[in-house]
Amino acid sequence: MGRLRNLVVAGAALGLAVSPAVAADMPRDYLPPPPPPRAVEVIEATGGWYIRGDLGGSWGTGGTPQANAPLPNPGDSNFGKGFTGGLGAGFKSRWLRTDFTADYASPMNYSGTMFTGGDTTAKLQASTVLFNGYIDLGTWYRVTPYIGAGAGAAYVRATDYAAPFFAGDNARQQWNFAYAAMAGLAFPIAPNVQIDAGYRYVNAGDIAVGGNAIGGMTFKNIAAHQVRVGLRWSFDDLYIPR
């Protein structure tokens, strides 16, 4: 009985001694793989509120200025160049965006010829408040082209008006209906910031200077072509880990 007990003890000791060596010699392929890292799903919100700011250049244009009879309409009209800037806020939902914008354009120096070169001059300025809608046309290589249109009001001012035989008030300001058409490209530079580069045509309507006095004139369809660059900062278009 004592011998049997000694054999059992010796076998157990031998097993304990051999087990580490066998485990050390076991190929690593037989070891269980480590657990996979926890998956993180990254999504981008499809819409949300945003604010924007824009700066750019402006090239004035307009229909033929109409002088009060019996004077001829001026020719060689030039509406000059300037700058424009604005702020806005809006909402994006997938491929559709809408926003409200308030924009200022510097005065355009108008010059025209009624009898001699440059004998008719004025400064024309328009600030606009517009409600705009845009359609995003898909995204290629992170660039999203868009088209849009807007409508609202323009505060138009005509100052420093001078013309042959003019005698009367040389300044006028009024509110007009205004509209705009635009197209551009947007490119993300951060998860919630985009550069917006685009073209905009804005029409601020008509304004008459000088009343019924001889030499008075109506500037028809005061408008501008604008090239603008701005930033759109979104509150909601963020990459959200889950």
pLDDT in tens, the chain (242 residues): 555 455 444 454 445 444 444 444 545 555 667 776 665 444 455 568 999 999 999 999 988 899 888 889 998 999 999 999 999 999 998 889 999 999 999 999 999 999 988 899 999 999 999 999 999 999 899 899 999 999 999 999 999 998 888 877 788 999 999 999 999 999 999 888 999 999 999 999 999 987 666 778 899 999 999 999 999 999 875 444 44
CA distance 24 to 75: 99
Q: Which two three-digit tokens encode residue 177?
A: 């209906």
Q: List domains and CATH numbers for the chain.
A: 42-241 (2.40.160.20)
Q: Which two three-digit tokens encode residue 34?
A: 């480590």
Query: In the 8-state DSSP scheme, what is residue 192?
Result: T
Residue 164: exposure state from Cβ atoms within 10 A (0-12, 13-18, ≥19): middle
Contact (CB, 8 A) for 153 and 177:
yes
Q: Which amino acid is at 102?
A: A
- Number of neighbours of residue 86 by Cβ within 10 angstroms: 22
Task: Count the alpha carbons within 13 Å of 128 in the hemisphere toward its beta carbon.
Answer: 28
Contact (CB, 8 A) for 210 and 58:
no
Q: pTM for the full model?
A: 0.76
Give 80's strand partners.
Answer: none
Q: Which two three-digit tokens encode residue 162?
A: 């001078």
Give 108's strand partners.
Answer: 124
Closest CA to 69 of 220, 210, 223, 222: 210
Backbone angles phi, psi at 104, to 5 degrees: -115, 135
